[in-house]
Amino acid sequence: MAKVVGVGLLGLGTVGSGVVEIIQRHQEELQHKVGCAVEVKRVLVRDLEKIRSVQIEEGILTENVEDVLSDPNIDVIVEVMGGIEDTKKVLIDALNQKKHVVTANKDLMALYGSELLQTAAANQCDLFYEASVAGGIPILKGLSDGLSADRITKMMGIVNGTTNYILTKMSQEGSSYHDVLEQAQKLGFAESDPTADVEGLDAARKMAILATLGFSAQVKLNDVSVTGITNVSDADLYYGKQLGYTMKLIGLAQRDENRIEVSVQPTLLPNEHPLSAVNNEFNAVYVYGEAVGETMFYGPGAGSLPTATAAMSDLVQVIRNMRLGVNGKQLQGPLHDCVLKGEKEIESQYFIRLKALDRTGTFSTITSLFAEHEVSFEKLLQLPLEKEEAAEVIIVTHQTNKENYERLLNRLAELSVVQSLESSYRVEGGH
């Protein structure tokens, strides 16, 4: 084992700067844990002249990726620059040159994780990606190591800090979606183009990674059903509160008899559910195992040092594997085929908000339709609307399957007594 393990860093933005800071400040602890020094040998950047938040020795920065990949003193590549197609080529090149890889790139792993892992195995290299999901929360190691002997049946969580911040402020302060989004952008919690966050795509990528690992099946991004938060209104949050619920953008992965459902959508949770108390930019993942029961992983879902800490934990694991001579030995292939549930197999409760004519017989017509579809009410709220001959009707159903529920919604929209279907959300976490 070498006295020094050399690291090549691809990217020196928020997370890359955090990696350098941890290596510099925690060198004594790192040497104690891995038995050797850890040094950053080369760093790929876009602009050599840019002012950095961390001190880097002269000659380490480069704008040429080949300076990093071809350096014989570099053992491990840490990729925190983002990107997909070009970055994939760079990492495959690194693995083919027998360099281990640590990445924080959720987009890349969601789309090409299987191919990259196979390339790593063929070269007897490690490829770890803890930092790609939920920032500083060790959820992937929790699944692959801590819960490795259990059979995971369900994972449900908040895996996007931007949307959680927005929904928290809307719910607690009564602010509008657009006002909170603007505030989140000013604070750096949301990108100037927030589409990937607010439309649920960022969370979907993370859920594809979690489901693949947790269920030992190759779950692709296209397998994830996705709905974002852009249509969530303050009225939805208000009436949800009246019925004892909190709105969160929930990533859900559930397995029943090896049939899988993976989704991301605004979801109402009972106020007493642990995920309801996860606010602002924090993330949390609730994991159900047949043996362990229920566990929850909670912490900062983004940020320089939290995400860098996750990448560094992977780096430590790579170096320990180097000392043991077991790099590239972890299982790579899926154990099960990914068989998605049909809509008849997806069971849930639902929240419906509609406007109906405020006259005799309206409610009887609505309840008859629900009875026809064998969907019963768990909770009901009916409020007359001022200056309108209409009432706001809010219903929480008992459990039903998705196919039946969608048919019911279509029939509701056709009723002459229903003026409009305002919103509909899944309800999770009940008994």
DSSP single-letter state for residue 341: P
Any bridge partners for residue 261, and if so which?
A: 254
Tokens 């609307």 belong to residue: 385
Cα-flanking dihedrals φ and ψ of residue 295, to 5°?
Answer: -135, 155
Give the three-class secondary structure for 365: helix
List the catalytic residue out of 41, 169, 206, 341. 206
**Structural element, H or E, at residue 185:** helix 177-187
DSSP letters, 167-180, are HHHHHHH---HHHH
DSSP letters, 187-234, are HTSS-SS-HHHHTSHHHHHHHHHHHHHHHTB---GGGSEE--STT--H
Question: Contact, 425 vs 228, CB < 8 A?
Answer: no
Tokens 């709220």 belong to residue: 381
Measured over the CA atoms of residue 84, residue 90, residue 93 and residue 94, the dihedral's sign is negative
Known catalytic membership, residue 141? no
> What contacts 19, CB < 8 A, 6 or more positions away?
9, 40, 78, 80, 308, 311, 312
Question: Contact, 79 vs 104, CB < 8 A?
Answer: yes
Strand runs labelled E in 301-367: 339-340, 347-357
Question: Contact, 266 vs 232, CB < 8 A?
Answer: yes
Any bridge partners for residue 9, and if so which?
A: 43, 78
Give the three-class secondary structure for 111: helix
Query: Would you please indicate which residues are annotated as catalytic (active-site) residues?
Result: 206
